[in-house]
Amino acid sequence: MNNHASGFSIIDVLSYLRNPHYTTPERRSLLSNAKYMLWSYIMCAIGILIAGCVILTIDYSIVTYLHIDSIYQQIRSTNTGVREAFGSYAFVVVVFVVPILEELIFRLPLDLRRGSIALGVTLLFFRFVNGGLLVADFSKFFYWLGVALSIFLFAVVYILLPKGFLSDIQTKYFKYWYYFIVLAFGLVHISNIKHIEFNYILFYPLFVMPQIIMSIFISNIRMKRGFVWGIALHALINGISFIL
């Protein structure tokens, strides 16, 4: 599918995925960028729907034949828990706060700047040691320990990451960095599964196919149109999913 007004083409998206390379975002009009984002959403939604059908089939099979708890239902339960935890603020958190934080972690480092990578690594580290970026208990020692360790980690990564190494990645090995970012975004969502059983660990990546598809389209628009449009597409996906 090719939309000349926006410059979007699913063939171009797949071609870039096959051979990603470092590029600076194109300078386009607001309307052109908005159309590109809309077409990206439509193609992404189709991909997610197909992935959803595959996931439901796999989930039914493992529940029926392996007699384990539904992985799909565990993920749904986690998503429902987020709504309950934030109450009336859930829409704002899911549609605005989460996309910004996740894009800072995963898509900002695609610019291969030391500060961007240090920030992404730090936020991801704090997410896991603190049990979430939006969890705060100022009265607990371990919360402040996590903050201190995160600040220290930022400084270490920023200081020790060689500029020459980043330059080599940009010119020679960018595709591997790009693939790492695309997959990491999806795989980190395995943490949404409440009960991880290592005997079935190979099944779990299949259940984050929607997030990997999201990551493909968000990473594409981030490189083609800029970081802000990656956030916007992420917010659009989350917003419509939240409403539905």
- Tokens for 191, please give them: 């943490």
223 burial type by CB count under 10 A (0-12 exposed, 13-18 middle, 19+ buried): buried
In a domain, 59, yes or no: yes
Q: What is the pLDDT of residue 87?
A: 86
In a domain, 5, yes or no: no
Domain membership of residue 96 as a residue range: 31-243
Q: Do 213 and 48 form a contact (C-beta atoms < 8 A)?
A: yes
Map residue 84 onto helix, strand or coil. helix
In a domain, 195, yes or no: yes
In a domain, 199, yes or no: yes
Q: Do 125 and 149 form a contact (C-beta atoms < 8 A)?
A: yes
In a domain, 77, yes or no: yes
Q: What is the pLDDT of residue 193?
A: 86
Residue 3 reports pLDDT greater than 70:
no
Tell me the whole-structure pTM to 2 decimals: 0.92
Mean pLDDT of the chain: 93
In a domain, 26, yes or no: no
Q: What is the pLDDT of residue 2?
A: 58
Q: Rg (Cα) of the chain, in Å, rounded?
A: 19
Residue 6 reports pLDDT greater than 80:
no
Q: How many domains does the chain have?
A: 1
Q: Which helix (H) or strand (E) holds 8?
A: strand 8-9
- pLDDT tens column, 189-215: 998 888 888 888 889 999 999 999 999
Q: What is the pLDDT of residue 1?
A: 58
- pLDDT tens column, 100-117: 999 999 999 999 999 999
In a domain, 132, yes or no: yes
Q: What is the pLDDT of residue 200?
A: 84
Q: Do 102 and 219 form a contact (C-beta atoms < 8 A)?
A: no
In a domain, 4, yes or no: no
Residue 243 reports pLDDT greater than 60:
yes
